[in-house]
Chain A
């Protein structure tokens, strides 16, 4: 097996004066051999994972729904919206469990296992699990919350072009509507915690990390953001998810750690769950419905720009360790 040790960039300073020794990442997997492009491996793996994720998920859900739906006492009535609402209310728990299980089983475990064989045994270093920038995590999470109204505004603009999809979107809302504490915990785990860990590992930790080795900024986080948005297969949310994907990719590159993106993703999805369930309390400042507050939009945009400026200031003060080696 070819062993290739990649020298890191110059050792940089942390905290102003302390020298950090140069890091070395041993890239010796099958996709790191001579004449092979690791980017091809990353793209094939991400697309393959996506295909199998949706196949397994739809197989499990359809099997359960077919078994349950065949019961003689169960009748579906009404138009598409009422059927959708009935479906999501009845199968909410099953959908959430299948979602979490397939995300961990396919989206999280597969890259972890394959990176060892395909790229390096230092999986935590490759995915950037090895450092935890406290400022980055805080700023990333606040930035995601500040981005939320702008993203909702973009989604609102899309609603105006696709009135039918708005009705469909409203009908699918029961999936994150909770009526008990156990369901709240399950929803937070499946919708906020699981994607934050699994999707960040795949899209930022693996895909974007590999893209960074061959593609210059901003293209690597634009590409990973685009794939992240497309993977969600939601026509209406495509532009807004693209914006979120770009933001998550940016903070992953900026802080050279996966944790700010994870916490940002968790905060973003958690806020959506919260807003869906406690709308009357939140409405004076932020309304997810038709009464969109432009004041909240401008305030949040201002806050978001401030967060980005702070991120650059923090990075200038604490540059951290560099291990980007292959550009």
Chain B
């Protein structure tokens, strides 16, 4: 029994194994994920919906008189809710990292043989041992991506500005801009895949912030296309599945507040106003859909990435189950 439990997750995975083991692991981690993610996401979504409605209501007068010049006095009502929303976005990113680390820890415990983990212990361990390095690593990644983004897109912006100023811009400018755009996208994708497993390295192997990035790059090298294809396919399927569930909620909420579509869409001012109104009125529906999306994301992706981490470590002959068990204080199989 112990051997079966160990060998089920600590293995080289095929495509079918990935999805099969992911769903099996989700059956083990679902309760923990739900309890850890649902309460904070409900609070964040409620706050987000309230602020979004305030922002939309502040934006409606601007939209109605969109042909008038924009002044600081007209923009002032937008600034407060927009700043609060930005703060909430950062908070939700940090909460997402915490939940992802907690789920990864649970996966690490289960894959190393401990089937019944305590949620309180998982939360406490995540907070005391993994949260700080994972947040620091997340910030470092943001800096790296922002740097590439700025440097890569600078030629794009430059050539677009030059093209708009010139009377008869040469075609090569557009080609250079398009080349820079695609090169930046490719570079961002390559680095994102290369560093995708860095937080798993912190939880599984107790790596430092930079150690996790290094180990992720080492593991992904030689397996780039497998990881890229799996992430892409999973993202497409996940986005579609989420859309299936949330589309009726959001679509229904938005459309239920429009009583006369003809009147609402007769001119541009009406279209802008009714669109903003629909978005504002659908705030609670967005909150519900957002919570569903966030919880399902945390159910699925941390597990998938953790199993990929195990698979790559087994492939690189780097997986020492005894070491992981001793780090996670798993003494015997339960």
Assess whether B239 is interfacial by the CB under 8 Å rule. Answer: yes
A164 adjacent to B240 (CB under 8 Å): no
* Interface residue ranges of B185-215 to A (CB < 8 Å): none
A31 to B240, CA, bound (A): 23
B236 adjacent to A80 (CB under 8 Å): no
* Interface residue ranges of A205-253 to B (CB < 8 Å): 227, 230-231, 233, 235, 238
B23 adjacent to A51 (CB under 8 Å): no
Interface residues as binary, B16-32 with A (CB distance below 8 Å gives 1, 0 otherwise): 11011001100000000
- Residues of chain A lying within 8 A (CB to CB) of residue B237: 44, 47-48, 51
- Residues of chain A lying within 8 A (CB to CB) of residue B24: 37
B255 adjacent to A164 (CB under 8 Å): yes
A235 adjacent to B255 (CB under 8 Å): yes
Assess whether B80 is interfacial by the CB under 8 Å rule. Answer: no
A167 adjacent to B262 (CB under 8 Å): yes
A165 adjacent to B244 (CB under 8 Å): no
Choose one: A55, A79, A164, A235; the contact of B266 (CB below 8 Å). A79
Q: Provided the pairs A37-B24, A162-B255 are in contact, do residues A233 and B247 lie with their beta carbons within 8 angstroms?
A: yes
A235 adjacent to B23 (CB under 8 Å): no
Assess whether B157 is interfacial by the CB under 8 Å rule. Answer: no
Choose one: A48, A52, A79; the contact of B265 (CB below 8 Å). A79
Interface residues as binary, A77-115 with B (CB distance below 8 Å gives 1, 0 otherwise): 001110000000000000000000000000000000000
Assess whether B241 is interfacial by the CB under 8 Å rule. Answer: yes
- Residues of chain A lying within 8 A (CB to CB) of residue B233: 48
Assess whether A163 is interfacial by the CB under 8 Å rule. Answer: yes
Nearest Cβ distance between residue B275 and chain A, in whole angstroms?
11
Nearest Cβ distance between residue B264 and chain A, in whole angstroms?
8
B265 adjacent to A161 (CB under 8 Å): no
Assess whether A36 is interfacial by the CB under 8 Å rule. Answer: yes
Interface residues as binary, B264-286 with A (CB distance below 8 Å gives 1, 0 otherwise): 11100000000000000000000
B252 adjacent to A235 (CB under 8 Å): yes
A80 to B278, CA, bound (A): 15
A51 adjacent to B236 (CB under 8 Å): yes
Assess whether B147 is interfacial by the CB under 8 Å rule. Answer: no
Assess whether B248 is interfacial by the CB under 8 Å rule. Answer: yes
Choose one: A40, A54, A162, A238; the contact of B23 (CB below 8 Å). A40
B236 adjacent to A164 (CB under 8 Å): no
Q: Provided the pairs A47-B237, A167-B261 are in contact, do residues A231 and B244 lie with their beta carbons within 8 angstroms?
A: yes
- Residues of chain B lying within 8 A (CB to CB) of residue A238: 248
The total of interchain contacts (Cβ-Cβ below 8 angstroms) comes to 80
Q: Which of B237, B251, B260 has the most CB of A within 10 A?
A: B237
- Residues of chain B lying within 8 A (CB to CB) of residue A2: none
Choose one: B8, B239, B245, B262; the contact of A79 (CB below 8 Å). B262
Nearest Cβ distance between residue A126 and chain B, in whole angstroms?
17
Assess whether B223 is interfacial by the CB under 8 Å rule. Answer: no
- Residues of chain A lying within 8 A (CB to CB) of residue B258: 163-164
- For A80, give the chain B residue with the smallest CB separation: B265
B8 adjacent to A35 (CB under 8 Å): yes
A30 adjacent to B16 (CB under 8 Å): yes
Choose one: B20, B248, B264, B265; the contact of A235 (CB below 8 Å). B248
B244 adjacent to A230 (CB under 8 Å): yes
B255 adjacent to A51 (CB under 8 Å): no
- For B257, give the chain A residue with the smallest CB separation: A164
Nearest Cβ distance between residue A205 and chain B, in whole angstroms?
20
A162 adjacent to B20 (CB under 8 Å): no
Assess whether B259 is interfacial by the CB under 8 Å rule. Answer: yes
B251 adjacent to A235 (CB under 8 Å): yes
A188 to B3, CA, bound (A): 58
- For A41, give the chain B residue with the smallest CB separation: B16
6 smallest A-B Cβ distances: which pairs?
A51-B240, A164-B258, A80-B265, A79-B265, A230-B244, A164-B261
Known: A162-B256, A235-B251. 11 other contacts (CB 8 A): A31-B20, A36-B17, A40-B20, A41-B16, A52-B236, A80-B265, A81-B262, A163-B259, A165-B255, A230-B248, A233-B243
Q: Which residues of A contact B (CB under 8 A)?
A: 30-31, 35-37, 40-41, 44, 47-48, 50-52, 54-55, 79-81, 118, 161-165, 167-168, 227, 230-231, 233, 235, 238
